[in-house]
Structure 1
C-alpha cells in the first residue's frame, strides 16, 4: 500500500514515535538485566528471586504497541478499491431476430435460448441502470426505450417475432439514437450518463450488402460512429458453424440453408467501437457471457474508506493487552 492510498498520510509519522517507545522498552529491559547480573553472590540471587521472570510479562506491552500501530494506520485514512453499483448508466440490448434464429443447433433453438439468457441478463442487471431493447432483422425497432422497469423488457423479449434479412448496422444505429434520446431527456449534467450497447447476433449482415463497407448503414460504419460517441459495443456471436434452417419455397417445398455465425464480423465491430467480443454456442456459455457483462456494466470500481478494520484491530489489540496485563500482573504495564 503506497502513501497515495491514504487520505491523511501525515498520521503515519506517528509510527516513528511508536518505534521509539518500543526501543525504549527494550532498552529498559536490557538495563534491568544488567543490574541483576551485578549481584556478586549468585546463590543469594537465586534465594531472593528463585524464578526467572516469565516471557509472558512482555505480552501486554506488545499488544498495546500493536494497538497503537493499528490505530495510527486507521487515523491515516487507508483506502481500497470497492465495487459500487452504477445508478446512472444506460444499456441497450440489441438482438438479432432474423429467421436464422430458428436454427436448432443450439437446443431447443437459438431463439428460445437467446430469450432465456436475455431475460436473465435483464433480471440480474443492477436496478439503477436504464435498460432498453432493440431488435433487428431487415430493419430495426425499439421495443423498449431505456428504463429501470425490467418487467417491460422481459415481456418484450417473450414477444419477439422473427423476420427476414439481417441489418446489423441498423440495429447499432437505432440503439445509438435511443441512448441519445434518453440522455437529452435526463439532462441535468455536463456529460451524458455512461452507455453501452450489447449486440447479440447469430449470422452475417445482409442489409446492406456486406461488401458495401462505405454504406452509412453498414455495421462497421455504425461501429465507428459508436466509437466517436464513446459508446462501446460489446458483441456476442451466438450459434455454431453448422446451424441450418428450412426456408419455404413458392412451390410449397423448402430449402435447407446453412446459417453459420460470423465471429470475424462481430469481433471487428467490438474492436472498432472499443467494446468486447464474446462467443457462445449453448445456454450455459451465453449465460456466462451475460454474467460477465453484468459485472462489467453494473458496477464501477472506486476507492473508498478502508480504515474501519484497522480501527477495530487497534481496539481489540489494546483491549486484550489491558486484560492480559491485569490477569498476569494485577496492574497495567
Structure 2
C-alpha cells in the first residue's frame, strides 16, 4: 500500500498527544483514589472493577483516529487489471541445434507444443505474430488477432543452419512497428508490445545481440528470453556428435538490457511453466486504486464500536 498525500500523517501528532494525556489522567485518578480512600472502602464502593473494559472504548476511539489519518493520506493499493490489447511476437530458434534430444522428444518439438499453448492462452484482443530464425529471420505469421493462424504457423517449423538471434529481434520490432502504424492510421490508441524469444544457442550470424538490444530499447519494447535446453545437449552432424550447450548468459543480458525477463528451461514441463508465467505478466497490468472510502468505513466502524461498548458498560459515550 502507498499513500498519495503522506503529509497528512502529521495529524498523528495530536493523536499521540491525546494518548499521552489519557495515560497521565489515568495515573492521576489511580493516585487520587488511593490517597483519599482505604482499600477496603474502595472494594465496597466499586465491588466490580471494570478492568480492561475501562480502556477498551478509548483504545477503539484512538484507533479510529489513526485510521482516519491514514484515510486523509489517500491510501492506494496495487491491483492487477487484465489488458484488453497488446502486441506479442513469439520468436523461435529453428537452428539445427534444436534437434537435440536432451529435451523429450527433442527441443524443437517441445518448443513448438509449448509455444502453441502459450499463444492459445493469450487474450482474444491481443495481436500475436510468429517469427523464426536460423541463418536469417522469417515471419511465419504477421501480428493479428487470428491466434489460430499463429498456432498453425508454429506447427510447420523447419530447421536450418545458423543462429541469427539479433535478426530475429529486429524483424520482430519491424512487425510491431508496422502493426502500430496501422493502428495509428485507424485512430486506435497506442498498445503495449513485447517480444518473447526462445533460443538454445549463441548468436552466430547477422546482427549482433547488442544491436538488437539497442533497437528494442529505442522502440520501448521489452524482450523476454527463454534459454532452452541443458548444458549436455548434443546433435549428430554427418556422424559426428557436436555439443550444443545453451548460451543463457547472452539471452539473459538481452532481456535485462531491454527491460524483459530472462528465463531458463531444461525440460518440456519447465518450458510450459515459463510460458505460463510470461502469459500472466503480459496479460495483466498493475494499476493503483484509491481505497480511501474503505479506510474511512473502517474508522467509522471503530468509532461505532467504541460508542457501543461505552454505552453498554458505562452508560455514557467515551
Q: Report the Cα offset of residue 114 of structure 1.
A: 0.6
Q: Who is 2:242 aligned against?
A: 258
Q: Give me the whole-angstrom Cα distance separating, in 2, the residues matched to 1:14 and 1:325.
A: 25
Q: 1:45 to 1:123 in 2, by over 3 A?
A: same
CA distance in 1 between partners of 2:201 and 2:79 (Å): 39
Q: CA deviation at 1:93?
A: 1.0
RMSD between superposed Cα atoms in Å: 3.5
Higher mean C-alpha deviation, range 37-46 or range 136-145: 37-46
Alpha carbons of structure 1 residues 144 and 29: separation in structure 2 relative to 1, 3 Å: same
CA distance in 1: counterparts of 2:124 and 2:300, whole angstroms: 38
Matches within 5 A, 1:221-232: 221-232=211-222
Query: Taking structure 1 as reference, are residues 144 and 311 closer, same or farther at Cα in structure 2, changes over 3 Å only?
Result: farther
Distance 2:218 2:38 in 1: 91
Alpha carbons of structure 1 residues 33 and 98: separation in structure 2 relative to 1, 3 Å: closer
Contact 1:137 1:162 in 2 (8 A): no
Closer, same or farther in 2 for the Cα pair 1:129/1:312, shift >3 Å?
Answer: farther
> Unaligned regions of 5+ residues in structure 2, if any?
none
Equivalent pairs, count? 315
Q: Is the 8 A contact 1:199 1:234 kept in 2?
A: yes
User: Counterpart in 2 of 1:61?
Assistant: 58
Q: 1:102 to 1:324 in 2, by over 3 A?
A: same
Residues 109-167 of structure 1: per-residue CA shift (max 9 Å, x gap): 2122112221333244456543321123344332332234444333332x223132235
**Per-residue deviation, residues 274-312 of structure 1 (Å, max 9, x unmatched):** 644433221132233334433544444444324355334
Q: What TM-score does the superposition give when structure 1 sets the normalisation length?
A: 0.76
Unaligned runs of 5+ in 1: 209-216, 248-253
Q: Secondary structure at the match of 2:91?
A: strand
Contact 1:94–1:134, Cα closer than 8 Å, also in 2? yes
- The question of 1:77 aligning with 2:74 is answered yes
Query: Structure 2 CA distance, aligned partners of 1:170 and 1:77?
Result: 48
Determine the structure 2 residue equivalent to 1:251: none
Aligned to 2:197: 199
Partner of 1:164: 160
* Cross-structure match for 2:132: 135
Aligned counterparts of 1:166 and 1:219: Cα–Cα separation in 2? 14
Q: Secondary structure at the match of 1:108?
A: coil
TM-score by length of 2: 0.79
Structure 2 counterpart of 1:236: 226
Tell me how far apart the structure 1 counterparts of residues 257 and 53 of structure 2 sit (CA, whole Å). Answer: 67
Q: Does 1:311 align with 2:296?
A: yes
Report which stretch shifted further, 140-149 or 263-272: 263-272
